[in-house]
Amino acid sequence: MRTFMLALLAAALALPALADESQIKLKDAPGRDKVEGNCAACHSLDYIQMNSPFMNATTWDAEVNKMIKALGAPISDDDAKVIKEYLIKNYGG
């Protein structure tokens, strides 16, 4: 019974944190739809904003390639090109 009460208390304390999560809004530019449709299928888009200070054209290219080749993201070659261009132009490059 004590374990159940502790779990219930932990859940009650976590609910306000979930309510404060805000939707990530990427920069409005050509290609955003491809990024949102492909990238957000596997992970949060906040990674883009968090990593952008450290990224340039080469690292964005490598990151998108890693997602496809190493992690198996089902992204077409055409979409990958658009995604890379969007990330480079809008989040470092």
Q: How confident is the model over 78-83, as a mean pLDDT?
A: 98
> How does pLDDT run across 47-71, given as a tens digit for each residue?
999 999 999 999 999 999 999 999 9
More confident site: 14 or 1: 1
Indicate whether 73 belongs to any domain: yes
- Give residue 23's identity as a one-letter amino acid code: Q
- pLDDT score of 72: 96
Taking the C-alpha atoms of residue 84 and residue 63, their distance in angstroms, rounded to an integer, is: 9
The whole domain housing 77 covers: 23-90
Roughly what angle, to the nearest 10 degrees, separates helices 57-69 and 77-90? 150
Model's pTM, two decimal places?
0.75
Roughly what angle, to the nearest 10 degrees, separates helices 77-90 and 32-39? 110
Indicate whether 16 belongs to any domain: no
Indicate whether 18 belongs to any domain: no
Q: Looking at residue 43, what DSSP letter applies?
A: S
Q: For the chain, how many structural domains are there in total?
A: 1
Indicate whether 35 belongs to any domain: yes
CATH of the domain at 37: 1.10.760.10
> How does pLDDT run across 18-47, given as a tens digit for each residue?
444 457 899 999 999 999 999 999 999 999
- pLDDT score of 69: 97
